[in-house]
Structure 1
Amino acid sequence: MPSPLSLASPEAAGMSKSALERIDRHLRERYIEAGRFPGTQLMVYRRGQLVHNSSMGLADIERKVAVKDDTIYRIYSMTKPVTSIAFMMLVEEGRVALDEPVHKYIPEWKNLGVFQAGIWPAFLTRPPSRPMQIIDLMRHTSGLTYGFQQRGNVDAAYRDLKIGEVEKAGTLQSLVADLAKIPLEFSPGEAWNYSVSTDVIGYLIGLISGKPFETFLQERIFAPLGMKDTGFFVPAEKDRRLAACYSASPQGAMTFHATDRKGGLTLQDDPATSSFLSPPSFISGGGGLCSTSADYLAFCRALLNGGELDGVRLVGPKTLQLMTSNHLPGGKTLPELSRSLFSEATYHGIGFGLGFSVTLDPARTLIPGSAGEYAWGGAATTSFWIDPVEELIAIFMTQVLPSTATPIRRELRTMIYSAINDSNL
């Protein structure tokens, strides 16, 4: 099991302490004191050392509970990379392959059509140009969607059936059964659309491994890496560590409230009554996990180290290299291929691999970075990225919906990369 990390001097890892402290001032003054975030936690790891770990503000405004190093967060879509790694462990064992048709494992999907017209439950469809493959689920080119996209009649059907909602009743089995009733938005491989695809991957992990999806994650990833605070619910003995989750009003997201600590934030999920306090029936591989910064750092350290950490191997280096390559058809970027009205990555110069966004051309992003950097984020504005070139990991935690309410991810990338003073160029 990996040993806990102590804080090292930034200069020992080629980073500027004063530049990292400037980030804390930025977060405190422009976000926490301005009422845009309740509190924040930021970890920066470089060249094998934790060089920055700051916890500021409140985890729970109503009860005035401070953010601490062991605060537990809803990481929502940061669950997706974990699920994707778990699936590739089965690929490495020869139990499944990326080019297999999904209907091999979900027979009721064999005749899924593509939407032409109509509303739920009466749809006119056409046959897809090719069957959905497992790689389509991994890279979100499946033709599936999320109900919150609110783009058309297929999205509306998802909302009617509450498909993909983390707090919904139902199970992974009922998710798969419900999806068999609704057509695809496009033929697999023709476009990119953020979707419940990774939830389906979680279902396949349980089906192929022969054990519950959550058990597979616990036995194969969380326990070996010492991720003791990561799971699909927060047990009673840890419930006081769960942060409150807030939503940003359109005005509050854009306006500073220097005299009002709560600012434009509205309580969205009270940690005293949260659905995350009890085991869910729907185990969402796309967005159901809670975790801490320290736990997620252990996961990221294993990835940065080629899939292994302190003797615990998740996947091999070549598998990780495959996962962090751009898999979008035609080598296109997300903005070129996406039909999605929402995504956790919207920059130009970004592609998508198997569970991660991947930076292809830093110049096109207009943000400092490296080709080969991979990342993702969660709906409550949590985010992470891993830069193999700079041997860098950054993890940011807060609890404010939606993640698009502020430009914090762009700002953190700019400020953290500016703190590097001996780049591996």
Structure 2
Amino acid sequence: MTDTDPRGLGLCPERLERIDAWMRRYVDEGRLAGLSVSLLRRGQTAFFRAHGKADIARDRPFGPETIARIYSMTKPLTSVAVMMLYEEGRFQLDDPLSCFLPEFAEMRVAVGGNRVKLDTVPAQRAITIRDLLTHTSGLTYGFMEATLVDALYRVAGIDFQTSDHALADLVARVARQPLLAQPGAEWNYSVSTDVLGHLVAVLSGMEFSDFLRERVLKPLGMNDTDFFVPDDKRERFAANYVFDRTGRLKIYDDAEGSRFLSPPPVASGGGGLVGTAADYLRFCRFILNKGELDGVRLLGRKTVELMTANHLDGDMAAMGQPRFSESSYAGVGFGLGFSVMLDPARAQIIGTPGEVAWGGLASTSFWIDPAEELAVVLFAQLIPSSALPIRRELRVLTYAALVD
């Protein structure tokens, strides 16, 4: 809990307490094992609360030091790494990916057929680096289980979370699959950011995990964020839960037997990190400060402004059929690594045009609202993220507490 008086930051203490009551209710009703909420306003932590258990079986409380799986909240950090290389003049956003990863030359696009024979046509243009950053590359995720291309990913063993193969090998497997759509034509959530992790390695000459650790995480003081939990921090690692058929919580990934307890064969830029809420709030401060934190500048102001602008032709709804993402489609666009709020009325949720956000598979999420000088980080460990409406509920509770 913070000692900062929220009144001086334009927040109503009584309304903030509604967040606390909401958190307690989810834990008391057995719908979440535990959760934390961190709220930053005008550079200061105005609210932090944690309730429930990080690990029910071992009676470990959910707290500020709890290490959780952030899954797709890894994507914005990977995108920062990419844009650091952009600032070094290593590439332009409209450069074809095949200039650096030649296996992506001469891609083909699925247009029909069946599992026995898939019909494809040549891609009308090359995949660009900007396509990867905006999820308009035509790539997909195998776990979607919605298209024939998704099925091909599963057959090819393309899983950046669990594979024993090297990052370069998995990316090469991706390149051998047909695209789901023409490059730039549709917004489809995908392994694009994992491919970007490999691009970082190729351009920098460093292992992607080393680059992210040495060039991004350590300079930002995100000292508890990494691709695995070291031995001396194991007791702080949360268990991950799922609902059983009766709606009760059961273990999905035990904290003591998790694959996250050792360095992974693949450092997934799309979803491989674990970390604390305090660490991620530092990242939010870095974005709010437009590329600088505590005297350390990783990106220029104009680069952050470019990243947090909408790069789609309209919102996500205009560029694809909803399948899966960590965001609603209507009224929300996408920048270079973040969703971008365009129209809260169309999104049917309270908010501010220009805010950026994303979430992770285990019910973590964040949003950054530059106009309100606000950032919020929600941590829980429940799969899937769509199991409970906690993200939307927290947004309402948070904005209701703004009174200046």
Asked if residue 61 in structure 1 is aligned to residue 45 in structure 2, the reply is: no
What is the correspondence of 1:7-156 to structure 2 with a 5 Å cutoff? 7-29=3-25, 31-118=26-113, 123-156=118-151
Map of 2:175 onto structure 1: 180
Cα distance, 1:165 vs structure 2 = 3.9
Segments of 4+ in structure 1 off by > 6 A?
Answer: none
Question: Quick one: distance in 2 between partners of 1:389 and 1:251?
Answer: 43
Question: Quick one: distance in 2 between partners of 1:6 and 1:48?
Answer: 13
What is the correspondence of 1:358-369 to structure 2 with a 5 Å cutoff? 358-369=340-351
Q: Match for 1:12: what amino acid?
A: G
Map of 1:258 onto structure 2: none
Question: Quick one: distance in 2 between partners of 1:11 and 1:121?
Answer: 64
Distance change >3 Å, CA 419–CA 250, structure 1 → 2: farther
1:275 is matched with which residue: 259, 274, 280?
259
CA RMSD of aligned residues (A): 1.4
Map of 1:294 onto structure 2: 278
**Which consecutive residues of structure 1, in runs of 5 or more, have no partner in the other structure?**
253-263
Q: Match for 1:410: what amino acid?
A: R
2:292 is matched with which residue: 300, 308, 331?
308
TM-score normalised by length of structure 2: 0.97
SS in 2 for 1:389: helix
SS in 1 for 2:110: strand
User: What per-residue deviation string (whole Å, max 9, x for no partner) do you get for residues 42-90 of structure 1?
Assistant: 0001011101010110001111111121000000000000000110000
User: What per-residue deviation string (whole Å, max 9, x for no partner) do you get for residues 94-138 of structure 1?
Assistant: 111110001111112111100134456853310112111111000
Map of 1:257 onto structure 2: none
Aligned residue pairs total: 404
User: What per-residue deviation string (whole Å, max 9, x for no partner) do you get for residues 346-402 of structure 1?
Assistant: 152110011000001122222221110000000000000000000000000000000
Question: Quick one: distance in 2 between partners of 1:87 and 1:229?
Answer: 22
Decide whether the 8 Å contact of 1:248 with 1:402 is kept in 2: no
Question: Quick one: distance in 2 between partners of 1:214 and 1:53?
Answer: 30
2:339 is matched with which residue: 357, 381, 386?
357
Map of 2:319 onto structure 1: 337
SS in 2 for 1:57: strand
**Which consecutive residues of structure 2, in runs of 5 or more, have no partner in the other structure?**
none
Map of 1:213 onto structure 2: 208
Decide whether the 8 Å contact of 1:191 with 1:338 is kept in 2: yes
Identical positions, percent: 51
TM-score normalised by length of structure 1: 0.92
Map of 1:201 onto structure 2: 196
Cα distance, 1:6 vs structure 2 = 5.7
SS in 2 for 1:214: helix
SS in 2 for 1:15: coil
Question: Quick one: distance in 2 between partners of 1:339 and 1:170?
Answer: 32
Question: Quick one: distance in 1 between partners of 2:144 and 2:42?
Answer: 39
Cα distance, 1:314 vs structure 2 = 1.6
Question: Quick one: distance in 2 between partners of 1:180 and 1:198?
Answer: 14
Cα distance, 1:34 vs structure 2 = 1.2
Cα distance, 1:164 vs structure 2 = 3.1
The answer to which of 111-120 and 77-86 deviates more is 111-120
Distance change >3 Å, CA 45–CA 313, structure 1 → 2: same
Question: Quick one: distance in 1 between partners of 2:186 and 2:32?
Answer: 34
